[in-house]
Structure 1
Amino acid sequence: MGNESNNSSCFIDDSFKYNLYGAVYSVVFIFGLITNCASLFVFCFKMKMQNETAIFMTNLAVSDLLFVFTLPFKIFYNFNRHWPFGDSLCKFSGTAFLTNIYGSMLFLTCISVDRFLAIVYPFRSRTVRTRRNSAIVCACVWIIVLSGGISASLFSTTNVSNTSTTCFEGFSKSIWKTYLSKITMFIEVVGFIIPLLLNLTCSSLVLRTLRKPATLCQIGTNKEKVLKMIVVHVAIFVVCFVPFNSILFLYALVRSQTISNCAVERFARTMYPITLCIATMNCCFDPFVYYFTSKSFQKSFNINPIIKMDNLFKVDSATKIALPVTHEALTEQMNINNGGELMSEANYKD
């Protein structure tokens, strides 16, 4: 990435990025480590039932922690502008970064699709929304993001000079043209454009479903919680990932010399570090998704632990919309963790 420009007549100084990265990574490391360790503890030890959405959220927390654990090395590097940790750790940190960014988008998309199925098709989706299928989907996500991350990180070799050693910088024009531009376009389509379209589509269909009078009757007092969940989910996706991936696309065109314009290159190389820092902050915001998506996650922190008997319409915002139930069915459901699977269709009363 460096400070040199593809255009020899265009001088660009993006050295501000080092202090910016160091400061932002320090904040992300502290908050990301605390919140994601706490979240993972809740998923593994406090939640009695691991439903399909909890599986997605657990994998998202693991993806965030893998990235957070590499941040101390990146902090040292950006403040000292020297990488003394070797080539292997350089490659691993590059893989962890890409895995976190695109793994987060894909796992958030899985949660969005799962919510869509639970709310729009609560009964017909029961055979699809299983823990086994969720585990298979998570395995596929890991294969995709690791394939892209490892492929890109093959070029994250350290460059040794007389004064310092760099990591994840200084890729040549030929590497950008022949390899990195193609890898970037692949992960942009698979890891960003498709998930973005799925998130927007699922969220809009859920909102349309909530506007129906019959659905309003079913949702009852929990409609506001579902709306908050959608807003938080989409906001994190749009704020953290849309700016970064938009600039990354332009950045790849500039670095591969598909676009040869000094003003465009200056804009791309100035905005790239800023949007990258915003993207890395997603691992601090993801616990908000857990909070608004899973009632079991809230209860693990003793938030709203009491089930009111006069509320006969319950929504587990992670997994289901429950219809009015009989007193016996409600009593049975109260003995099940709210993060559990959907009640059987026989328990619902028209």
Structure 2
Amino acid sequence: MGNHSDNHTCVTDDSFKYNLYGAVYSVVFILGLITNCASLFMFCFRIKMRNETTIFMTNLAVSDLLFVFTLPFKIFYNFNRHWPFGDTLCKISGTAFLTNIYGSMLFLTCISVDRFLAIVYPFRSRTIRTRKNSAIVCAGVWILVLSGGISASLFSTTNVNNASTTCFEGFSKRIWKTYLSKITIFIEVVGFIIPLMLNLTCASLVLRTLRKPDTLSQIGTNKEKVLKMIVVHVAVFIVCFVPYNSILFLYALVRSQAIANCSLERFARTLYPITLCVATLNCCFDPFIYYFTSESFQKSFYITSDLKSDSLCKTETALTTQVIPPAIREEMSVQAIRNGRDLMSESHF
């Protein structure tokens, strides 16, 4: 694949990305579908008390599932290097990807800010941390990410080349320079830099609060639990999104010829597919955030296991009652009473 400018010709080859995308998308589709469907089931049917954090997590799970549902089309495209599904579905697929990446970052930021308010300002934030305000914030996030994703898909996203059709690639230098580069800068600032700063700031302030045991006792939690929450949250954000967005900025510069350097272009076009695949793995990692951030989510697992144990015990009791004859059951009861009296006598001694 070549990238041409008026002053130089830089030949690059990033065809390895097709097999890489196909393999990674296949894994993300299977794991993401299972984990996010299970998480959404927990939020909708197992967790009775829906608080502010649960609302953010439910929207994050929905965002992940919307992206996961488009992956079969992307898997077919990357393994066959041909998009037969039309321009409309290509737009939807591209919009779902952008919505998931930046929607995930914004919803994770909402969770981080919510936890920060709950831990650092547990009493003063009660009027702010309401389900109504959380729903309003979620609606604002959806409007923002959908408008950004749709705006990136306004132009024709499919291109016919040598009897094969591409989807969301092969754009000319003019489109990159006049259109895509501006969109990239906007989504980088709003969808990445600001959320990154907010997440790091909230994490540092919460860590500072851990030095005050009185505050932790007021909110009814412990230091170890808060530390796990911060580590998992920040790790998912940094591992999945920082490499991708850092390379995306450089990738946009070399594709729009703002930087005309063959070495940098090869570097960007080689790392961009790799970091993009890592970014898509956030669909599989988000359930870990649900588990370590929400106590209700943790308890739902225990409740489910307890219900299974109770049902098993009831089944065994019913079977035992049916099999043992009444006379033997009566004798066993008398023997149990005698044994109980013997144990009480031993305890007195």
Same fold, TM-score > 0.5, yes or no: yes
Structure 1 runs of 4+ with >4 Å offset: 216-221, 303-306
Q: Is 1:171 paired with 2:171? A: yes
**Residue range with higher mean Cα deviation, 213-222 or 152-161:** 213-222
Matched-pair contact (CA < 8 Å) for 2:12–2:266: yes
In the other structure, the counterpart of 2:296 is: 296
**Cα pair 1:60 1:103 within 8 Å, conserved:** yes
Contact 1:6 1:255 in 2 (8 A): no
Contact 1:53/1:111, CA 8 A, preserved across alignment: yes
Residue of structure 1 equivalent to 2:117: 117
Match of 2:3 in 1: 5
Whole-Å separation in 1 of the counterparts to 2:143 and 2:156? 20
Secondary structure of the residue aligned to 1:301 is helix
Asked if residue 233 in structure 1 is aligned to residue 199 in structure 2, the reply is no
Change over 3 Å in CA distance of 1:300–1:62 after alignment to 2: same
Correspondences of 1:1-350 after superposition (within 5 Å): 3-7=1-5, 8-155=8-155, 157-215=157-215, 217-218=217-218, 222-302=222-302
Work out whether residues 77 and 83 of structure 2, in 8 Å CA contact, stay in contact via their aligned partners in 1: yes
Task: Provide the C-alpha distance between the structure 1 equivalents of 2:205 and 2:216, rounded to a whole number of angstroms.
Answer: 15
Give the whole-Å Cα distance in 2 for the aligned partners of 1:171 and 1:108. 31
The alpha-carbon distance between structure 1 residues 250 and 156, as it changes in their structure 2 partners (threshold 3 A), is farther
CA RMSD of aligned residues (A): 1.6
Change (3 A) 1:6 1:211: farther
User: Take 1:217 and 1:296, find their aligned partners in 2: how far apart are those partners?
Assistant: 19
1:293-313 C-alpha deviation (Å, 9 max, x unpaired): 11111111117999xxxxxxx
> More helix per residue: 1 or 2?
2
Question: Residue type of the partner of 2:140?
Answer: C
1: CA distance between counterparts of 2:304 and 2:140? 35
Q: Note if contact 2:120-2:215 (Cα within 8 Å) is conserved in structure 1.
A: no
Query: How far apart are 1:163 and its partner, in Å?
Result: 2.3
Could you say what secondary structure the match of 2:226 adopts?
Answer: helix
Amino acid at match of 1:256: S
How far residue 218 of structure 1 moved from its aligned partner, in angstroms, is: 4.5
Alignment length (residue pairs): 304
Q: 1:159 to 1:221 in 2, by over 3 A?
A: closer
What SS class does the counterpart of residue 5 from structure 1 fall into? Answer: strand
Q: Which residue of 2 aligns with 1:319?
A: none
Contact 1:47 1:297 in 2 (8 A): yes
Contact 1:6–1:257 under 8 Å retained in 2: no
- Once the two structures are overlaid, the 10-residue window that deviates more, 287-296 or 297-306, is 297-306
Q: Deviations over 1:148-192 (max 9, x none)?
A: 100112235211234211101111111111110000000000000
How many Å separate the matches in 1 of 2:26 and 2:121?
43
Percent identity, please. Answer: 85
SS state of the match for residue 153, structure 1?
A: coil
Aligned mates of 2:191, 2:155 — CA distance in 1: 20
Structure 1 residues 221, 135: CA separation in 2 closer, same or farther (over 3 Å shift)?
closer
Instruction: State the Cα distance separating 1:212 from its structure 2 match.
Output: 1.8
CA shift, 1:213, in A, is: 3.7
Displacement of 1:4 after TM fit?
Answer: 1.9
TM-score (norm: length of structure 2): 0.84
Q: Which ranges in structure 1 are unaligned for 5 or more consecutive residues? A: 307-350
Q: Is the 8 A contact 1:52 1:129 kept in 2?
A: yes
What secondary structure does 1:160 align onto? strand
